[in-house]
């Protein structure tokens, strides 16, 4: 089932660092920011994680919980989180269930070969479990600020 802005997100459950279970209902009452990224410890993904880290207190103040999601396993996530001192949890979607549900698995050309990869994307889910906004195929510079503005606008509207 594809996700659609202004519709509830479909059922899912996943494991995150810190021993946290995340599902479509686990954070009702809280705004969720879920950002999907290709791979731990790569330049763009490291920059994006550090930008979410550096603005994390602003997201918390605006009432949002942040999760990073990739296909990496829990060991990789734990190391990436520790190395960058990330204050938020990372979801290990090793079976690509969430990636497919959110429609972020794309065919890419890497070194002349077709590969399936994760399209850098962010989703803003309201406290009511409704998808409020999405950013797909995004560039890292300025993105975190755009998401924070949307979170603050959502808080103001509530």
Q: Please report, in tens digits, the pLDDT of each residue of the chain (158 residues total).
A: 568 899 999 889 999 999 999 998 998 899 999 999 999 999 889 999 999 999 999 999 999 999 999 999 999 999 999 999 999 999 999 999 999 999 998 887 767 888 788 999 999 999 999 999 999 988 888 999 999 999 999 888 76
Alpha-carbon dihedral angle through residues 125, 128, 130, 133, given to the nearest 10 degrees: -40
> Is there a contact between 50 and 84 (Cβ–Cβ < 8 Å)?
yes
Q: Is residue 113 part of a domain?
A: yes
CB neighbour list of residue 95: distance below 8 Å, 6 or more residues apart? none
pTM of the model: 0.93
Q: Can you tell me the distance from the alpha carbon of 22 to that of 80, in angstroms, rounded to the nearest whole number?
A: 19
Q: Which domain holds residue 13?
A: 7-157
Active site positions, annotated: 45
Q: CATH number for the domain including 152?
A: 3.40.30.10
Place of tokens 């060991």: 75
Total number of domains in the chain: 1
CB neighbour list of residue 6: distance below 8 Å, 6 or more residues apart? 130, 131, 132
Q: Is residue 81 part of a domain?
A: yes
Q: Is residue 96 part of a domain?
A: yes
Q: Is residue 2 part of a domain?
A: no
């Amino acid at each position: 089932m594809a996700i659609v802005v202004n519709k509830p997100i479909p059922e899912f459950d996943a494991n995150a660092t810190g021993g946290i279970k995340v599902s479509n209902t686990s954070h009702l009452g809280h705004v969720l920011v879920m950002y999907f990224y290709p791979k731990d410890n790569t330049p763009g993904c490291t920059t994006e994680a550090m930008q979410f880290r550096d603005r994390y207190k602003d997201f918390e103040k605006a009432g949002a919980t942040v999760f990073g999601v990739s296909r990496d396993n829990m060991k990789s996530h734990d190391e990436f989180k520790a190395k960058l001192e990330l204050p938020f949890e990372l979801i290990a979607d090793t079976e690509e269930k969430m990636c497919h549900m959110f429609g972020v698995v794309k065919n890419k050309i890497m070194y002349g070969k077709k590969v399936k990869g994760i399209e850098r994307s962010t989703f803003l889910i309201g406290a009511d479990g409704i998808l409020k906004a999405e950013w797909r195929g995004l560039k890292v510079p300025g993105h975190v600020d755009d998401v924070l503005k949307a979170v603050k606008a959502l808080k103001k509207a509530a």
